[in-house]
Amino acid sequence: MSSGSILKVEDLCVQIGRERPLAAVTGVSFDIAPGECFALVGESGCGKSLTALSLMRLLPQGLHITRGRVLLKGCDLLELTEAQMQQVRGAKIAMIFQEPATSLNPVMTVGDQLIEAVRLHEKLDRAQVRRRALEWLERAGLDDPAKKFDAFAHELSGGQKQRVMIAMALACSPNVIVADEPTTALDVTRQAQILDLLQKLQKERGIALLLITHDLALVRQYADRVGLMYAGEIVEMSGVDAFFENPRHPYARLLLSAVPSAGKSARELAGIAGAVPELSAMPAGCRFAPRCPAARDDCRKCEPQLVEVSCGRLVRCLHPQAVVEQPQREREEKTFDGETVLKLTDVGVVYGARSRLFSRSRPFEAVRHASLSLARGRTLALVGESGSGKTTLGKAALGLLENALVTGSVEIAGEKAFDNRGRFKKALRGCAQIVFQDPFGSLDPRMSVGELVAEGILALKPGTTRREARAEVDRLLERVGLPASAALRLAHEFSGGQRQRIAIARALAVNPKFVVCDEPTSALDVSVQAQILNLLREIQAADGVSYLFITHNFAVVEFMAHDVAVMRKGEIVEAGPAREVLTHPQHPYTQALLRAVPRL
């Protein structure tokens, strides 16, 4: 460990429960120097956020730090009383949480929350604190900081709320900032703005930054060193360039091979088989051995230690030189007839135009003059910043908008989608389905998986018996990689990736001609994302299903899309074949979007 480090974490161990304790974090050690960004990466459930919460002494009830030290400028934070720790949080070590909407107080203005944070640590009068707060809101990149000072959290966009969190974290000039997935829900331009700001302030003030993320492209662009976690342990640690150019641990190699890109579009992504082990069922020996293609007998018996394999590089593997090969099938590219399954002509969406609730407010035009078409067996990616109208347009095509006036023409499989009274035709409901961004929020928690998948079959396929529906449910679950026994369980019993598979099975149950996929992989790990993308392409090749793919992940666009449409402020500003739009963008907005995309 470097003697010049601000923060040193030594042999940190966290357990769940006391009577039958389960190890959630085991022997984690790292250090961060002034002005350095250390990235902690890995799949969901590997212990990244628990490590961060341990540093702040904010672990949820039932979790306990059983061993280790957290040294901040030589002071062990784990030895402090809670009263002493309250003086450290914010003033010396601050945290930017993953979801700012739930971290900001909804009944306090932004300004009052900033004032509260500063006055906890510094004896300043209200005028001085107000000036400090306004200064940091401005430095965090918020336009019109005086107006934002008096705003409530719900009046701000996601990017603005995240900037408020950054201003709050930096207002007392801490030595260390812990940023836990600070850009997960942001589009590429806002993501770049937030991380550029953090990097600038970090270098200016000599702050040590702990960046927790599962976005490897962000790590490559912004981090100085990286620690890869798996099942509660760090399995590789090195400088960021060495990690990406020559990963040593099999898990690192497989993760990098699972990242989508244009160069991999001709074949399947190399996903990682299996899942992170449950805490109650940790395998003997190497924890990654059950998923590792290069595992040997000794890997399943002997627990590897984190050892230095070269200058400053640590790897937890008995055979770091082993060749890791994942079988990859070539992409099955089929051409289908030229049937147009979706055609939007001059579509507009206006909120508040015919609702008494908004009669005193000025109507808001969310989409203007949008025209696009989607052919059978093709994927059209709809991209743009948050709030540009992508999801609104997708929902408008399916008749899923309430309190909104939809104008223009929507045709599905050559037929007008709306009747003369502006209602979506029920006969077309089976032709068009949607997979939402958050599968857990879109699946009824009171219904079994079998009932969820069968619901559309029974509603839109008259004459289908319950026995026939159950057989079809079993077939669909098997097709999306889930056992038939999953039909008897509830949605909360599954992981995020498994819930997304259930949502896909539900959408396919009525044999749709096209599916609107609204950010279907944005909250998923790289390896799970690879599995879902491979599944969607396999279904498309077999059935000719078309996708309107709404996303802000350009790596996914490069891998999935045949065509691309770019939206800005409710308008489609550029559209065409994916290769042309992504390599030779014509509109300045498209060019700016692509410049902001982080690359491996």
The model's confidence at residue 170, banded by pLDDT at 50, 70 and 90, is confident
Nearest alpha-carbon partner for 112 in 65, 154, 75, 148:
148
Torsion angle, CA of 470/473/475/478, rounded to 10 degrees? -130
Q: Give the separation between CA 544 and CA 179, rounded to whole angstroms.
A: 42
Q: Give the separation between CA 343 and CA 411, rounded to whole angstroms.
A: 5
Exposure of 129 by Cβ count < 10 A (0-12 exposed, 13-18 middle, 19+ buried)?
buried
Q: What confidence tens digit (pLDDT) does each residue in 112-153 have?
A: 999 988 888 888 888 888 998 898 898 887 888 899 999 998
Q: How far is CA 293 from the centre of its chain?
A: 27
Quote the pTM value: 0.86
Give bridge partners of residue 209 from the DSSP assignment: 37, 177
Backbone CA torsion sign across 351, 354, 356, 362: positive
Give bridge partners of residue 416 from the DSSP assignment: 411
**Rg of the chain's alpha carbons, rounded to an integer?**
25
Q: How far is CA 427 from the centre of its chain?
A: 35
For residue 559, give Cα distances in angstroms to 265, 377, 440, 457. Answer: 5, 15, 25, 31
pLDDT number for residue 127: 86
Decide: helix, strand or coil at residue 285. coil
Q: Give the separation between CA 291 and CA 74, rounded to whole angstroms.
A: 39
Residue appearing with tokens 């940790």 = 282
Conformation bin of residue 448: beta by default, left when phi > 0, alpha when psi is -120 to 50: beta
Conformation bin of residue 414: beta by default, left when phi > 0, alpha when psi is -120 to 50: left
The model's confidence at residue 438, banded by pLDDT at 50, 70 and 90, is confident
234, containing H or E segment: strand 233-239
pLDDT number for residue 332: 65
The model's confidence at residue 328, banded by pLDDT at 50, 70 and 90, is low
Q: Alpha helix locations (H) across 100-215?
A: 100-103, 110-119, 126-139, 145-149, 158-170, 188-205
Q: Alpha helix locations (H) across 230-362?
A: 240-245, 250-257
Q: Give the separation between CA 568 and CA 574, rounded to whole angstroms.
A: 9
Decide: helix, strand or coil at residue 106. coil
Q: Give the separation between CA 91 and CA 168, rounded to whole angstroms.
A: 11
pLDDT number for residue 358: 46
- Report percent pLDDT > 70 for the chain: 96
Q: What confidence tens digit (pLDDT) does each residue in 566-597 have?
A: 999 999 999 999 999 999 999 999 999 999 98
pLDDT number for residue 360: 47
Q: Give the separation between CA 230 and CA 563, rounded to whole angstroms.
A: 37
Residue 467 CB contacts under 8 Å (≥ 6 apart), including other chains: none
Domains of the chain and CATH, by start = 100-173 (no CATH), 340-444+508-595 (3.40.50.300)
- Report percent pLDDT > 90 for the chain: 59
- The answer to whether 145 touches 137, Cβ cutoff 8 Å, is yes
Residue 228 in tokens: 């890869």
The model's confidence at residue 329, banded by pLDDT at 50, 70 and 90, is low
- Determine the Cα angle at 165 with ends 161 and 169, to 5°: 170
Work out the average pLDDT over 234-241.
96
Q: Give the separation between CA 539 and CA 512, rounded to whole angstroms.
A: 12
What are the respective helix, strand and coil percentages of the chain, to the nearest 5? 40, 25, 35
Q: Give the separation between CA 473 and CA 235, rounded to whole angstroms.
A: 40
Is residue 357 over pLDDT 60?
no
- Measure the N-to-C terminal CA separation of the chain; round to a whole number of Å: 28
pLDDT number for residue 502: 93
Ranges 65-74, 334-343, 392-401: which has the least confidence? 334-343
Exposure of 278 by Cβ count < 10 A (0-12 exposed, 13-18 middle, 19+ buried)?
exposed
Q: Give the separation between CA 44 and CA 61, rounded to whole angstroms.
A: 20
Q: What confidence tens digit (pLDDT) does each residue in 523-571 have?
A: 788 888 898 999 999 999 999 999 999 998 899 999 999 999 999 999 9
Residue 37 in tokens: 């960004």
Residue 382 CB contacts under 8 Å (≥ 6 apart), including other chains: 390, 393, 394, 548, 549, 550, 551, 565, 567
